[in-house]
Amino acid sequence: MDKSPKAPSGTPDQVLTNRQGHPITNNQSQRTVGSRGPATLENYQFLEKITHFDRERIPERVVHARGFVCYGELEVTGKIGDEPASKYTRAKLFQEAGKKTPLAIRFSTVIGGRDSSETARDPRGFAVKFYTEDGNWDLVGNNLAVFFIRDAIKFPDVIHSLKPDPITFRQEPNRIFDFMSQAPESMHMLTHLFSPRGIPASYRHMEGFGVNTYKMVNAKGDTVLVKYHFHPRCGLASLTAEEAAKVQGQDLGSASKDLYEAIERGEHPQWDMYVQIMEDHDHPELDWDPLDDTKIWPEKDFPLRHMGVMTLNRNVQDHFNENEQIAMGTGVLVDGLDFSDDKMLVGRTFSYSDTQRYRVGTNYLQLPVNQAKNAKVSTNLNGGQMSYRRDLAPGQNPHVNYEPSIHNGLRESPREEPNNAPEIRGRLTRSVLERRNDYVQARGRYCTMMDWERDDLVLNMGTLLGQCERDVQERMVWHLMLVHDDYGTRVGKVLGITADDVRNLQPLPKQVLTDEDKSRLQRLGKNGDTIDPAVWGQWTSSVKNYKASAEEVLNGMRDVPTKPATKEAAE
């Protein structure tokens, strides 16, 4: 809410004008012949006003249409865990203890439209734009640590299955599970999503993950693989489907309201930033591929290393300019950070920038919210829709918009950027990752849940699968029994399907089962599975999750007894 002093209406500084700066003397009536008309064609003020109104909306995002932006800063420790940050990365923003980098963050839901409910079951976007001295760095992730698929060529398909039916325009469980039942790698994500973690109580009470595997590069050019984590100091809190429905009945925008009002009260949300590190090679000793975004890196083997604290302390001044037009991209990296060969990351890096140019325009990076605020911008790009300046360097010859030139044009940076990434050899092919192991981490997630989360997961899965056709139900129960006896049996009981009903189903075409999977298939539903969280060690996604009520959410999550997620992990 604007808290600035109000000047009397009609003072010289508050006279209504058009975009040309012309004062408007009559904003109530068109120009007409006589009081009843007809209207005249040269109705300039009316035409300017109505044609702008007709174009006030830009295409909404295909995914992440509903979101909320605020601003803050990242203060780093100068270390990664107990070691100097420079050991792993030369990125300037991480080098000095106490260094602060301003940022914008956009929280969002994925599937629903711009005016959809913020308590829908959905992954939440967790996208951060860091305005560093070396230019912008975008880290575009989610509140869940994994994703449905591991190859970007399937992204349109998974989103189509989750979006409304093209005929009925309703989100249909039968379409969702029809696709997922044919994509075994989705079982891990589904186990996260259909648990209470799929409906965070607020944006302040959820985690953030980079999801994809990235790289860090140090001054020598040595590289490591990394995964990014953000853990809320507010602690974690989630809703059951029943409580979420109560919130939705009263407020479609509860999460945005909660975040906005918390910042306005001076309760500035904070997240601890961590990174996991792995040597940069294919790790044949693991039974999963580190570039597979349907997998987490177990923290008992790849511990979280603290890097800094993110604080959110300022709201936007204009929702459209700063929320609708903010544009993120996974390809926006600064020196010292790099891509891995993660197949989802490679596809996202093209897709995100491509959709921003379509949605916001060719010159979207000239908009204030997207500009590199702490680095100079000098390019040879010019023209295009909505261009309002050229990115000229001081003293640059404006006639020269090409490189190389000997007539005072732009030149390449003399800065060397060594990168000693591993050499890769292989035949050009279209193939899947060899180490898929689609069920083992879903089993771990099922075992490390709190009891109330597991009960809610079974209820949600059973309820929605109950709306599906029998062949989809049977294949899903088959998958869930390969994940865990209790998981498949309990969901099957809701549907009236037993292990004997699905025992004769054959593996999907081209599905690769591990030796353990084949053995489990022979004893489907009778593998002697136990629920022992200790076997899996501590997982970030297994820290205590507070069971929030609709009343608490509608009350702004005040006085809710949650602890910082990092303390929960330590306990």
What's the rounded Cα separation, in Å, for the pair 29 and 291? 63
DSSP 23: B
What's the rounded Cα separation, in Å, for the pair 316 and 369? 10
80 burial (CB, 10 Å; 0-12 / 13-18 / 19+) is: buried
64 is catalytic: yes
CA distances from 243 to 19, 184, 511, 547 (A): 47, 30, 38, 10
Q: Strands, E, within 41-123: which ranges?
A: 67-76, 79-80, 83-84, 100-109
β-sheet bridge partners, residue 131: 136
Map tokens 């809701």 to a residue: 494
142 is catalytic: yes
What's the rounded Cα separation, in Å, for the pair 451 and 439? 20
List CB contacts of 378: < 8 A, sequence separation 6 or more: 391, 392, 393, 396, 410
Give the active site residue among 22, 27, 64, 407: 64
What's the rounded Cα separation, in Å, for the pair 19 and 11? 19
- Kindly tell me the sign of the dihedral angle through the C-alpha atoms of 368, 373, 376, 379: negative
List CB contacts of 265: < 8 A, sequence separation 6 or more: none
Q: Is 18 helix (H, G, I), strand (E, B) or coil?
A: coil
What's the rounded Cα separation, in Å, for the pair 360 and 499? 51
Give the active site residue among 136, 142, 143, 460: 142
Q: Which of 291, 286, 284 is nearest to 301 (CA)?
A: 286
CA distances from 366 to 25, 296, 314 (A): 33, 36, 22
β-sheet bridge partners, residue 412: none
Q: Which of 263, 273, 361, 242 is nearest to 317 (CA)?
A: 263
List CB contacts of 251: < 8 A, sequence separation 6 or more: 257, 554
In DSSP notation, 433-479 reads -S---TTHHHHHHHHHS-HHHHHHHHHHHHHHHTTS-HHHHHHHHHH
> Which sequence positions are flagged as catalytic?
64, 142
